[in-house]
Structure 1
Amino acid sequence: MKNKYLTTIAKKLANLQLAISLLFTIGLIIAIGTIIEQDQSLNFYKQNYSDISPMFGFLTWKIIIFLGLDKIYTVWWFLVLLGLFAASLLSCTLTTQLPSIKTFKIWKFYNKPVQLKSLSITDTLDRGLFNSFAYYCNDNNYHFFRQNKKGYAYSGLLGRVAPAVVHISIILLLIGSTFGSLGGYTAQQFVPRGEITHIQNLTKFGNISSLPNDLSFRINDFWITYTKDLKTDQFYSDLSLLTNQGKELKRKTIFVNEPLLYNNIALYQTDWDIVGLKVKLPNNEIFQIPVKKITKGSRKFWFCSLPVDKFLGKTLSVVINDLNGQFFIYDSKGILLQQSRIGDSVYLSDDLNIQFLSFLTNTGLQIKSDPGINTVYLSFLLLMLSIYVSFFTYSQIWLVESTQKIIVGGTSNRAVLFFQQQFRKIFKRVTKVVR
């Protein structure tokens, strides 16, 4: 009784119209998720989806928060839809696809010559050529079976497996992406060179996510390479993953599109920044002067004031364009006084010189964890294999021996012209033996 009840549910879930409806609904919701900004603060939605001017005349921040449209890909009702779609595909696979493969392996003999007339191609052979025809079928990768005066051959059964593999790959994709959304996290951090830090400043955190307790990372070094015209070419961070006891687990120099990977955690190079300038004053005092970033169009500048008021009685400013070591010194009126480089001693007066020791830099990192990524990769691999396998043509040939002739007929699910050519080729080889 229980098995009958489960079978009934499985057949209802395997309904093609239900699967198409679920797929359409999921696609529509994903499209909505591309319109409404995801994972933003409550104030963001209040400002952009106010009650005064609702989007489309009805969509306000209250509706967005109530329905979970701000986290649409992890909200419970969207996950239920994904689960139903996966259950529909699984039911179709178990109740339709896999049983059909078993059916295709069953020997299907025709008993009467008239049954072969409806096939796409038919012909006749002289009696006595039954075994020769079977031999050349086997030579063309057909599996041939004989039962008294009847014969059956098939080729390309692997092509019938493709739909089931497609279903399995989509199910794995749904499982992997859901698990990644619920169990993954994303963090954005600016870390000074030489510092050790843990994962923090989370921008995304799944419902069942957890941070590693025994993991930190150190920025060993950071540098930038430049093109011939002194434009930024690439920026690099030398990273070490550490345990809480300071043991190095892995070390790698990362750059854009070349992350450090460790146990489903990826550290990406995303940005960089100058946060300070280290200088040495005449009295051997070493100062770390904070700088302020100014953005003008696509260009960035860093600005700071030198602490030389007690020496010169006026304020001097330093402007930095990039990390190539060059900087500019201006007076309070904006007049350029000097152009220098890191490591140089700059003489601001006869008895005052300042040595610029180094830039203080931050490297911008994105830390991502996706526990379902390997399952997603596996699903795409299976999907690509299924596309390849689907090109295998499933062909069938039947033979029925009458009192005078052997009636032969065949059909194919695709590449009909190729099958007909192959069919004629086998016939020519069989009849050639007779001659």
Structure 2
Amino acid sequence: MNALGRVAAWISDLRLAIVLLLVVAIASGLGTAIPQQESSEFYHRLYDETPWLGFVRGDGILTLQLDHLYSSDWFLALLGWLGLSLMLCSWRRQWPALRAALRWVDYSSPRQLSKLSVAETVASPEPQADLDRLGALLTARGWRVQSQAGRLAARKGVAGRVGPLLVHAGLVVLLVGSAWGALGGQRVERFLAPGHELELLDRRGEGQLTLVLEQFGIDRDPAGRPEQFRSRLLLKNPAQADAPAQEQRAEISVNHPLRHQGMTIYQADWALAAITLQLGKSPLLELPLQSFPQFGNQIWGLVLPTRPDGSDPVLLSVTNEAGPVEIYASDARLLGRLVPGGVPLEVNGLPLRVASILPASGLLLKRDPGVPLVYAGFAIALVGCGLSLVATRQLWAIAETDRQRLHVGGLCNRNLTAFASELPLLLGSLHAPQQG
């Protein structure tokens, strides 16, 4: 065997494919454990002080491409290696096995049958008549029979030989779909306040879809903890050459996404977008809120000066849209609390009132062109697994007229013990009608 043949034999080794499957499964588990597609600051903030596994910090996460694992170079290389291994294994092993199963094998001597896994010889006053009855009985039981002078060959369950080939083909299609989705997919995550819109562009920079958030609400339990988030959306499709502009309204919530023209829109998270204040007798002012992760999880606020020259700033802190808004001085003293829509509070001589707090909907938009291939791959693999459970049975019989004997032998790739116990019953049933 030349060097190329040895490499092909190594790549197509079933043991290598199993190892690659395990590695891909472990890598996929890492992608589940580590948040994906976040900013580099996010990983430094999350893992610099508390390293992942005790030693992998933010720089290590980014260097190993664990922040975008499913589209990383090494993960795609693993998928390609596994796909090549499965294709070579199918070409070198499964396809020849299928061709051999479809090819009729002719055994012409009793000695050949005696060497098979299951073989039996019975005395027969009329071997040729028993051979004919055996052929008719096998045909009635769903066997395919090929008869020749003084002998026959029969087989059943050849579809089981197609199963392993379909499993490999399904896995290859699944891998192609996964790689295509990782390379050609789109992922957009935005916080959108009610009344605001998000315009999506295609690859040519033209408007593809305008997403308007009409209303956003949070369902909370009696303790005030969020249970469900709901967004009412208006989707606007721009006019095309062959179609007018279209609008569609829909509501999404957690675990109830919206699928629209190949894109899936998920209700992913929530935040607080803005706070509406009144300072003294001023008009209502809508000011943006920002997250303060250094103070805790899901804490938003803003720094507000209380003097015309910008001095004496206070920090307004809030954890949900219902309030209360806590006011802290520059020395971290709590100055008071305000309820949205409630009475004003004098802060450093300035009356301050909170009119409302505007929540924002966290939307995740994903387009994965590889999803149809992934589903098709799963379907093909499942059909292959089902067919692989079908036992392939082969049987040969030779009528030895001069010695009044009938020789029968067979092969089975699955549950050979059951096949061996059925063969005597099959031969015994040849004379059952006559005995009745």
Q: How high is the TM-score relative to the length of structure 1? A: 0.74
Q: Secondary structure at the match of 2:381?
A: helix
| 1:290-369 superposed matches below 5 A | 290-295=288-293, 299-304=297-302, 319-323=317-321, 325-328=322-325, 334-336=334-336, 340=339, 342=340, 344-346=341-343, 348=345, 356-369=354-367
- Tell me which residue corresponds to 1:220: 214
SS in structure 1 at match of 2:389: coil
Map Cα deviations across residues 312-357 of structure 1 (whole Å, 9 max, x no partner): xx9887653323x34256586525466x4x4x452558xx998754
> What is the aligned partner in structure 1 of residue 103 from structure 2?
106
Give the SS at the match of 1:234: strand
Shift of 1:44: 10
Give the root-mean-square deviation of aligned CA atoms. 4.7
Q: 1:297 to 1:104 in 2, by over 3 A?
A: farther
Task: Work out the CA distance in 2 between the residues paired with 1:320 and 1:30.
Answer: 42
Q: Is the 8 A contact 2:146 2:153 kept in 1?
A: yes
Partner-residue secondary structure (3-state), 1:285: coil
Whole-Å separation in 2 of the counterparts to 1:378 and 1:371: 13
1:239 aligns with 2:239: no
Relative distance call for 1:366 and 1:328 in structure 2 (3 A) is closer
**Paired AA for residue 423 in structure 2:** F
Moved more, 247-256 or 232-241: 247-256
Cα 1:268/1:77, change in 2 over 3 Å: closer
Which residue of structure 2 lines up, in the alignment, with residue 426 of structure 1?
Answer: 426
Residue 102 of structure 1: how far off its partner (Å):
3.5
Of 183-192 and 400-409, more deviation after overlay is shown by: 183-192
250-259 or 364-373, which deviates more: 250-259
How far apart are the structure 2 equivalents of 1:215 and 1:357? Answer: 34
- Between the two proteins, the alignment pairs up a number of residues equal to 404
Shift of 1:273: 0.9
- Mapping for residues 253-264 of structure 1, pairs under 5 Å: 253-264=251-262
State the 1:304 CA deviation. Answer: 5.0
Q: Give the counterpart of 1:287 among 262, 278, 285.
A: 285
Contact 2:200/2:207 (<8 A) preserved: no
Q: Measured at CA, do residues 250 and 95 of structure 1 come closer, stay the same or move farther in structure 2, by a change above 3 Å?
A: farther
> Are residues 331 and 368 of structure 1, via their aligned partners in 2, closer, same or farther at CA, if it must alter by over 3 Å?
closer
Shift in Å at residue 214 of structure 1? 2.0
**Structure 1 residues 44 and 346 mapped into 2: Cα distance closer, same or farther (>3 Å)?**
closer
Alignment-mate amino acid for residue 259 of structure 2: L
Distance of aligned partners of 1:23 and 1:72 in 2 relative to their CA distance in 1, 3 Å threshold: farther
Amino acid of the structure 1 residue aligned with 2:434: V
Judging changes above 3 Å, is the alpha-carbon distance between structure 1 residues 296 and 185 closer, same or farther for their aligned structure 2 residues? same
Structure 1 distance, partners of 2:299, 2:253, is: 22
1:64-123 deviation per Cα after TM superposition (whole angstroms, max 9, x unaligned): 98x999978657787677556545544554565345423322322211111111222222
Distance (Å, rounded) in 2 between the aligned partners of 1:143 and 1:433: 22
Identify if the C-alpha distance between structure 1 residues 162 and 230 changes in structure 2 by more than 3 Å, giving closer, same or farther.
same
Maintained 8 Å contact 1:116/1:398:
yes
Residue ranges of structure 1 left out of the alignment (5+ in a row): 1-7, 48-60, 201-207
* 1:391 CA drift (Å): 0.6
Identity value in percent? 24
